[in-house]
Amino acid sequence: MALKAGIVGLPNVGKSTLFNCLSSAKAQAANFPFCTIDAQMGQITVPDERLNKLAELIHPDRIVPATCDIVDIAGLVKGASKGEGLGNQFLGNIRETDAIIHVLRCFDNDNIVHVDGSVNPVRDKEIIDLELQFKDLETVENRIKRVEKQARVGGDKQAKLEYDVLMKFKEALEAGKSARTVEFDTEDEVMIAKNLFLLTSKPVLYVCNVDDTSAATGNKHVEAVREAIKDENAELIIISAQTEADIAELESYEEKQMFLEDMGLKESGCDRLIKAIYSLLNLQTYITAGVMEVRAWTFRKGWKAPQCAGVIHTDFEKGFIRAEVIKYDDYINYGSETAVKEAGKMSVEGKEYIVQDGDIMHFRFNV
């Protein structure tokens, strides 16, 4: 399944530096606003050591990890919802993403210009929040005008339900709250809300970009952000984009690990960020393993076997018969698919089986 996350933030907070670390694509990075004029697209791999472990046993022709598309979007400024700066383009690009990676400047450096003259990540966050909320409020109010008459006097139950959803959003947005803070009681309401594609309904990962000395511990700016988002149902991670850039320049895995250890880190910020996106979107991976390839497939937590089969091809879901499932730990312990079968550790599951993260799957289907 395709996954796209957009990197957003004010100009000069480290968005493009982070993007360059995450992606093989190279966005221009410079010390002035609007350096990134066009949305830059890159594809990153989802780190998963399980694929390498399986490959050591199977010796496949290739390893295919899961991937995520990352979009580096032009920096936002006050008034973007009205078209200021590159606002209209920004808002158009962000609407197409599944999740938002909101980069906040949490480092002091007099040599790097801040668009508002001082370092204050909470203020910066509120600027972008407000612009997105203004745009969502405009969307909601326009939609209310279309359905209000039907809802009130036309006797249209669907219109009444949509009107109620819109009014809940309107109340929250006018109070300075994002759409993602609104909760609904029924699946019908959730579906209507989802189909509005509001900008502030998207899940957010806040990335606090710190100096290298704060990469492992954070700093006062990080703590201020943590306090500001405590009621948002969002995630936060700490990254030094410049440190990640230095790591990206190293050639070998061993060199990178030594560098991380010296910094007091267990894994790179980029790896942590990608894993956090998966957690934020409630995503997991299952694996198909054979001599041709060992491959990771992305699915949403809670999906049943036929839905997961459909990730490979829609025909697999339509003609689903059963799934043969091996737990990852069993495969590693016994060393081969044959040995797992002989030990009676392979299960045969039907349409109601809920696939688990790391399951090694083989689907039987008929079309």
- Mean pLDDT, the chain, rounded, equals 85
Place of tokens 């966005």: 27
If you average pLDDT over residues 89-103, what whole number do you get? 79
> pLDDT band for position 71 (50/70/90)?
confident
Whether 102 has a pLDDT exceeding 80, the answer reads yes
Q: Using CA atoms, how far apart are residues 3 and 43, in angstroms rounded to an integer?
A: 10
Whether 90 has a pLDDT exceeding 80, the answer reads no
Q: Using CA atoms, how far apart are residues 201 and 203, in angstroms rounded to an integer?
A: 7
**pTM greater than 0.75:** yes
- pLDDT at position 82 is 57
Q: Using CA atoms, how far apart are residues 241 and 17, in angstroms rounded to an integer?
A: 6
> pLDDT band for position 104 (50/70/90)?
very high
pLDDT tens per residue, range 166-175: 999 999 999 9
> pLDDT band for position 105 (50/70/90)?
very high
Q: At what angle do helices 220-228 and 121-153 cross, to 10 degrees?
A: 10
Q: Using CA atoms, how far apart are residues 209 and 7, in angstroms rounded to an integer?
A: 13
Residue 45, Cα to own-chain centre: how many angstroms? 13
Q: Using CA atoms, how far apart are residues 111 and 148, in angstroms rounded to an integer?
A: 53
Specify whether the CB–CB gap between 81 and 186 falls below 8 A. no
- pLDDT at position 315 is 94
- pLDDT at position 37 is 38
Alpha carbon distances (Å) from 118 to 107, 204, 211, 220, 307: 11, 24, 16, 15, 49
Q: How are strands ordered across the β-sheet holding 347-349? A: 62-64, 293-300, 283-289, 360-365, 320-326, 347-349
- The vertex-244 CA angle with 241 and 245, nearest 5°, equals 90
- pLDDT at position 295 is 95
pLDDT tens per residue, range 158-211: 888 999 999 999 999 999 888 988 989 899 999 999 899 898 999 999 999 999
- pLDDT at position 74 is 63
pLDDT tens per residue, range 324-335: 999 999 999 999
